[in-house]
Each structure stands twice: as C-alpha cells, then as structure tokens.
Chains A and B, each alone.
Chain A
C-alpha cells in the first residue's frame, strides 16, 4: 500500500477500536463480541492478504495487529482477518463460500503437534471452522465445538474436532513462511498491548499525586517506566524487523528473526506490563481496571505458538543450512 493509503486503513482501525474498546472486564459479553466482530468484518480488512500479491505487506499487517492490541478489543482480528486468509492464500484455495475460518492450535496454545492431539480454535469470534497446520505442512479443517473458557478474557476460544479433513499441504518454504507470519502477527499484537499499557501508566504517573507531587516525579517510578519503555522499544524493533524480513528476505531468515522477536516479546512485554501495573498501584488490582486485561493478554501470549524455552533451545545453536 502507499503510505497514505496505509495511514487511512490504520486510522479506520483506530476509530473502530476507540468505539468498540472494552471499558472493563464486565463489558466482555458474548453479545458485545459478536456486534464488534460484525463491525470489524465490515471494514473489509480480510481482503488485505487474500490476493496474490497481497494488497498489504506483512509489515503493514504487523502494524495493524499492533493497533488491535493497543486497546482492549474482543474481536478476532488475528485469527479470522490476518491469519486464516493468509493460510488460504499460501494454499491457493479460496475459503468455502459463506464460511469464516480461524486457525487451530494445540490445547496448550502452541503450534499444533503431530497426530490427532486435541485442538482449540484460537481467536474464534465470528468463526465457524478452524484451519490446522500440522508439523509436516499438511493443512486440515475442523468443525467447532463449544466455547472453551480462556484466561485472556478478550480472546474467544472454542474446542475443535481433532481429526479434520485435509485441505492441502504447504511446501517447506511455505511452511516456514507460515510459521514466521503467525509468530509476527501474534507478537505484534502483544507489542501493541504492552506499548499502550505503558503509555497509559505514564499518563497516570503524570496526574496521580502523592506526598504533594505527581508520582511521576519520583525517580524510582521514573526508572520503572524508563525500563518498561526500553523493553517496549526492543519488542517493536525486533517484531517490525521480522515483518520486514518476511516481505524482503527468504522465509528461512524471516523465521529466525520471527523467533527472536517472539522470544524478546515473551520476556519483555510481560515485564513491561508488570512495571505499568506497579505504577498504577492498588487500582490496577481491581476487576474493573483494564490492567488485568492487558496482563492476561501478554501473559497468555507469552505461551502462544512458542514458549521462551521452545525458542531459546532452537536459537542457542547456529542454524542448519536450509
């Protein structure tokens, strides 16, 4: 997209987010989620990665995911708008008319394992089937079961039938592209969440007064927020670089960069949200405050697709030649 065009799309998503953001955990209701998802569908963002070549670059998708993470939204932008359409594009198959797929993950929310392990349809608001990429690149489609309660209150999750119908197969390069792309999109949303929450706590530190002065004037608070800022910027640099790599470099290199980004975000987005929560003091510990919505998102997000242990083990050695 041209820069101006992208800025327009992002602003569209921004005003959508301002309108449908959740004010507190009490606002997270099925009806609210469905209405927001429908409005999201009307923005037509699902088309961004459907054509070949796609209308939006991976970098642009990553920034949209960042935007989606910055406010508490109960919509499944990642699963149904950014991830599943990309998978169908890689397979060269259109979605069956009238269906909205999302993606399936293992029960522990990591990349699906081999065999017919139990699956969940991840980010399933508005979805009616789930696409699963197995470790050998085979792609299956599963029907959905009932809603499964999730810790991330903003993320709709349903059970999925384990042994789905095979719909295609990704070649090794396509499979690497897919893994890199999913890591980048998921990571970007967490970057957006951490960045926005830290910004909110900075605002609070300017206004909240104790001992007759703003708490943001205390050096202990300043250093907490400075460190959180460093972590957020590290996350953003790593994630955006990985997205750039997927647009411009081999899938192999992009996957390495995406793993680095996920490892950074697993550690740092959580740390940054901890810092922000600390700055909010007692208020952040209440059900009504948005802090725990962010904490839930980044804490669960740190285990989604690949955990720190998964990643560091792989990254500790030089890569084998492709």
Chain B
C-alpha cells in the first residue's frame, strides 16, 4: 500500500482501446438467450463471441493466447461491458493467474489459449464437505503409483462443474507432511472415468454449484500443475485474485443498479422516506469507494505489486457494497418481495453468499489480522 501519489488514471492508449471495443460491440450485439437455455451456456456463447474479437485475456501474454496488455486494459473492457448492460467478462482471470504462475511452460502453452477461447471451461475444486474454511483439512487423496496418480475423495460447492471440461483440483499427496506442503494441484478432465458430477440447487433456484465424486480417478503426471506440494501457494494465489472486485468484473453490475436506485430517488422525490433516501446515498458512497479502491489496487498492480493478503480487504469492501446494495434495492422496489420475486430478488439472495464464497468474511479478517497486521498467532487456526 503505497504512500506516494498514485496514478489512478487511464493511460492514453486506453481511450483508443475503449473506442475500438465500442465500435466492435456496435456490430456484434449481445446474442439472444434461447428459451430454457441455462445461463452458463448462454454466457459461454457470449464468451466465445468476445474472444473472436480479441476481447478476452487482455492481460495474458500473447504466446498464451492473450494480448499482452495490462490489467487496466482488461478492466476497461469490463467497464465498457457494464456501461452497455452486457454480461461481464468471462470470470477466468483468477484461474488464468494460477496457471500463469504455477503451470509448466508446456501446460501454459496448451491450456491457456483454450481456456481464453472458451474451448475448455474450467471450474475450481478446492472445497470439500470437511474442508471449507479450513482448506488444510482436505482429505481427497492423490496416491502416486509410478508415473501416474490415483485420486479418491469428494469435492463440494464446485461452481458450474456440470458445464465444465476441466477442474483445477486440489488433493493431498502426502498423509504425513504439514497441510501447507502436502497439497498438490491437478488439471482434472471431468469426463475421466471415475468422476461423477452432481448438481445442487442453490437458494436462488440456480443450478450453480455441484458435488464432485472422485472414485479411483487416474491422473497422469503431466496433469499435475506445479510441483508436488505446490497446491497451497497455488490456492492462495487463486483466491487472492478472486477477491479483487476488478478481477471478478462485478463492479459494472453494481454500478448499473446504483444508478437505477438513484434515478428512482429522483423520479419519486418527496414520496420516499428520508431514511431510504440516505440509504441510497450510502449505496452510492459504498460503490464509489469500491471503484476508487479497485483503481488504487490496479495502479499498485501496474507498479509491479502482485495480489496478496491485502486482497482480503478488497473482498470485505466488495461484500459491504454488494450486501447493502441489494438490501436497499428491495426497499426501493418492494414489489420484488410482494409479487414479483424477480431478478433483483435472485441477486439479493446471491448477495448473501458474498460473505461466504471465496473465503468467508471471518476468514478474510483472520487473514488481515495475521498476514497484513502480523498479529500474534493463537495456534491453529
């Protein structure tokens, strides 16, 4: 967290990129979602269309299928999508960062271009029934047998596994060592013999997450990501990127709703209770603070800083903004509760998950206390 002035601004070439992207969007309108088409399938079509125009993975080096630009370029694309009410950029940034940092050159050359193109869809298999917050308690085991591994265990909450081709899987490779050295990452093809994917219905009715059963699944050595024992730092890198509002592309989604609430305040001036008016003002403040904070992080990132434990601060600010926003939206549009139960209500339910997924709010506080403030440890956890 830098103490000297930061450049929050867009370098000049960003405006060119924005203009170019707007022009592209004008001739490539958002595809229609077919009746009964699951949202993830629709989003994948959108992902592929964006990729065909070169709008995915802007900050990934060219030799891996990206454009070799910066995080800010990626953010601008996300911004422009928000401004035209299109779905956000495909959420692959954090997985791509994990591969960039830990995969072998051969794997990067093979996997990243296909991930960016949407030819291979990835999901994240970290959590287990017995290992949620305490990832170190994971029991899925990958036993080494000569040149390959045999994996047995169960994963839980694996978002969109039923629509995915590959899973970034964490498994123990050593029963003895400390958890931080005995977990290893793999790229697991979900059509491999012994893998069962069972969707779970979420509270908002969506079929987002899944259970994954792994029954003596054979994984080749070449499917291991990083070295044996690299699973823990890989997981930490992944979740650090997953916790920044910029990397998840949520900002534009919030921005649209905040503006909707403010317009409603203008249109219904006088009829809204005073308290609700300030609550909308507070939503705007939370959102704008989050934008400023995300810009500051981007400036730091451009200055060479990699995502680390301070992204837990970002995650808590994002959660604060999101949960207040949807809570307030239900008050400004009460019909959502009375009769409609529409899209805002669905998003409201999902906003309650913001303090759970990607590590709960308590876990973010633990991380800040230990790894940002360096407060003394109380032993495990």
Contact = CB atoms under 8 A, between A and B. Distances in A.
A123 interface: no
A59 B280 CA distance: 29
Interface string A201-222: 0100110000001101111011
B289 to A, nearest CB: 5
A263 B285 contact: yes
B144 interface: no
Given A219-B378, A229-B313, A313 B289 contact: no
A237 B9 contact: no
B145 interface: no
A217 B365 contact: no
A260 interface: yes
Q: Secondary structure of the A side of the interface?
A: helix
A312 B282 contact: yes
Interface stretch (B85-93, B125-133, B210-218, B291-299): B291-299
A291 interface: no
Interface stretch (B24-32, B175-183, B259-267): B259-267
A257 interface: yes
Contacts of B317: 230, 233-234
B233 interface: no
B369 A264 contact: no
B285 A315 contact: yes
B360 to A, nearest CB: 12
Interface in A219-237: 219, 221-223, 225-227, 229-230, 233-234, 236-237
A96 interface: no
Interface in B267-301: 269, 277-278, 280-282, 284-285, 288-289, 292-293, 295-296
Contacts of B12: none
Nearest to A247: B5
Given A226-B364, A233-B293, A206 B280 contact: no
- The contact size tier of chain B is 35 or more
A260 B259 contact: no
A312 B285 contact: yes
Interface string A297-322: 00000000000110111111110000
Given A309-B278, A316-B284, A6 B5 contact: yes
A241 B4 contact: no
B9 A248 contact: yes
B362 interface: yes
B289 A222 contact: no
A63 B5 CA distance: 8
Most central of B265, B292, B296 by chain A CB within 10 Å? B292
Contacts of A312: 277-278, 281-282, 285
B23 interface: no
10 contacts: A206-B374, A217-B376, A222-B375, A226-B368, A233-B310, A240-B8, A308-B278, A312-B281, A316-B265, A317-B266
Given A226-B312, A236-B1, A263-B281, 19 more contacts: A59-B5, A217-B376, A221-B375, A222-B369, A226-B368, A226-B373, A227-B316, A227-B365, A229-B313, A230-B316, A233-B293, A236-B296, A237-B292, A241-B8, A260-B289, A312-B277, A314-B281, A315-B281, A315-B284
Interface of B: 1, 3-9, 259, 262-263, 265-266, 269, 277-278, 280-282, 284-285, 288-289, 292-293, 295-296, 310, 312-313, 316-317, 362, 364-366, 368-370, 372-378
Interface of A: 3, 6-7, 10, 57, 59-60, 63, 202, 205-206, 213-214, 216-219, 221-223, 225-227, 229-230, 233-234, 236-238, 240-245, 248, 256-257, 260-261, 263-264, 308-309, 311-318
